[in-house]
Structure 1
Amino acid sequence: MFTSLLVANRGEIAVRIIRTARRLGIRTVAVYSDADRHARHVLEADDAVHIGASPASESYLRGSTIVAAALSTGVQAVHPGYGFLSENPDFARQVLDAGLAWIGPDPEVIAAMGDKISARNLMAANGVPVSRGTATPVPDTPAVRDIAADVGYPLMVKAAGGGGGIGMTVVRDETALAGALETARNRALRMFGSAALLLEQYIEPARHVEVQILGLNDGRILTLGERDCSIQRRFQKVIEESPCPALPTDLRERMLEASRRAGAAVSYRGAGTVEYLVDVARNEFVFLEMNTRIQVEHPVTELVTGIDLVEAQLLIAASEDTALCEPIPTGHAIEFRIYAEDPIRMLPAPGDIERWTEPTGPGIRVDGGYRAGDSVTSHYDPLLAKLCINGADRGVALDRARAALDSFVVTGIRTNIPLLSRLLDSDFFTSGDYHTQSLKDLLPAPESSR
């Protein structure tokens, strides 16, 4: 096992990685920008290196600067967390070329799965169900109308190089196609450096369900159950739970087997997630994407399996994973993402945190990146913490979640905690009968939110 590790990230995921590393006796090095000089992850690490100005483009996205920090502090490995450079194959190659261990899959796998077109083609070739869609980038010609008609409306326009719901637009008829394509191309070029787009059938209503996998050094692909991530705003997840409350046993088994095939298709090594759209009424599912990193929502899998996924990542990277085996998930777990944002319009709400009181008690876990006195800036994602709940069954988990949300106190800034409490008491969430558009039912019409 490694004796030293640099965490190339910030916020709650950096704190969470540092804590597992500390438990394993691994020395940790944090990196920080100007805005994060006194951040929680910096204080919890054994050492810290300043890497630049507050904007991510001048700090957390500077791969060569981060590699230099790793070399200067004598660490053996780099853990990228999620976001930033975690799915950047060039950064992974930089780390490896510097003689450091990369906590993640091979750069070639990251590249293959990072391009949504090549990923869906590869999955289809290996027996993983995919929706109707384009096998090549959408041309910027009048022929695109015929291609869209062949896919069928409604359809989804996606950035081929995007991920995490960024760069996606629903198109319901031909009249909206040209405008959606232009907007998507501009956004994709700005966000991902590539204007390549693909079209896919838009399934509604659908559930967004994903399977956690671990690819071991002996070639085995372990599946660790599924997570339901259907409660979303702007294609961004808000609440996740495991197991999915509406997944028939036969459908679950088919999804687990498809995920094993997906991992085997690229000789996957490390922690990864295979995401699907599920039409429960038809008992069908289609591949959405594969994330080649640890997920924001990984704690719900940890709570129902008892496996520390960061530790598993380190064991695999250090080739000490022989004792890992496929678990049988038990109980129920739910994760609530606590954001610094307006709970109605869901826009970021930066500011200074005056009071920060985390809930405690049986079955309650908080993965937080902030504390009282910290400033939340507009430079980074507004995720403050993840409130994770588990219980013997879903009913117990829901009861604990209500009490935990009521006692989670953050003042000085606006948060989405009021919205989460409303969600928790909604009929659709309580029953488990929800889909990716259900959150809209709790929000005011656009005219009344202005």
Structure 2
Amino acid sequence: MRLAMIGTGYVGLVSGACFAEFGHDVVCVDIDPGKIEKLKKGVIPIYEPDLDDLVTRNHAAGRLNFTQDLKAGIADCDCVFICVGTPPRPEDGHADLKYVYQAAKDIAGAMGRYTVIVDKSTVPVGTAREVDAIVKAENPAAEWDVVSNPEFLREGAAIEDFMEPDRVVIGADSERARSVMRQLYAPLSDKGVPILMTGRESAEVIKYATNAFLATKVTFINEMADLCEKVGGNVEDVARGLGLDDRIGPRFLRAGPGYGGSCFPKDTMALVKTAEMVGSPTWIVDAVVKKNDARKRQMAHRVGEICGGSVKGKTIAVLGLTFKPDTDDMRESPSIDIVDELQSNGATVRAYDPEGTDQAKAVIKGAEFCSSAMDALTGADAAVLVTEWAEFEDLDFDVVKSVMKAANFVDLRNVFSPANMQAAGFNYLSIGRPAAAK
């Protein structure tokens, strides 16, 4: 099949490369000439494990191409995917759909034959019908269907998630469109991956409901961690006890500084706003959003606690800046609020991240960005681990202690053993666990 991806961001590039790997003929379209030229040369604009190899291999094979020319790009396409951003609007937090709607207009003006227009961007319920109306107004003589096909890609594991998904959700209102989508995803359905066919509105709700539910699990275990700290429990034991219940499951039950990234913050807020607009408020999700926002800044107070009550005049080493490991994505990362709060309270921040430094410099001001973890730790009064990059697990704490001004360590991801850190001579705080293992 011939496919076009409108937008070469995270979703468009990963999806395009993976569809090409299935054997489809894919062209990725973007208005940024610099990005297109870099992609043609194999320069990937985002960090995602194995994506560079996947793009390079399929581009060399002629299955994956890049262009600025939308009209030429979507000519004779069976499916055109809208993969543009839907950032929250500054004024109200609702998803900004201007890029989706502009893409719909552009596609309508360039279509030649029957085309399935696929909403791959994360969009509020009702967007597919709006896209349908835009195409009809722009090109009423054309033949098309609009389909909702939400993505469920975890940054850092996106290729695995695309190639071996739990399910594929397709919201379509015509059998003709459903037939095209079945053919598109045949490489997955042939392997036994469930293909869930729904109406368009249901598919749109499934995407938001999924992320809201997972965000709720994250926030719930963080609240249980706070409770454990008050009563002497261990949140890791609590999480295991919960996760062994097959009605709950173990995933997304890891306590930490709060969720971030490109999906959970944006999608939970968009769901809250959409529900308010239609008169069906989502009180649980609204509470999750507020609790998570507050938690990020509260984490900085733990650093103050380990420093004797205040970070004023202290040098703090921040290890890990991206919202999770194996990505360079800084969107809504807890580190942004944590660093800001530390600086507001008078601390000097020395920060290090294996992949996200360039992106961090755009959103974190006033910090000193270091070239290594040891560089950041040198002379620090305290260290705080915010993102659990694998390289931090290999820190030699005898050396770390020797270069730090004071042996204070706050572990917001529970990477290290309290007993081991105590034995190494550190004043150590983690999340929801006793100071030393029992």
Q: Could you state the TM-score of these two structures normalised by the residue count of structure 2?
A: 0.30
Which is strand-richer, 1 or 2? 1
Higher RCO, 1 or 2 (CA under 8 Å, sep at least 6)?
1
Q: Which has the larger radius of gyration?
A: 2
Higher helix proportion: 2
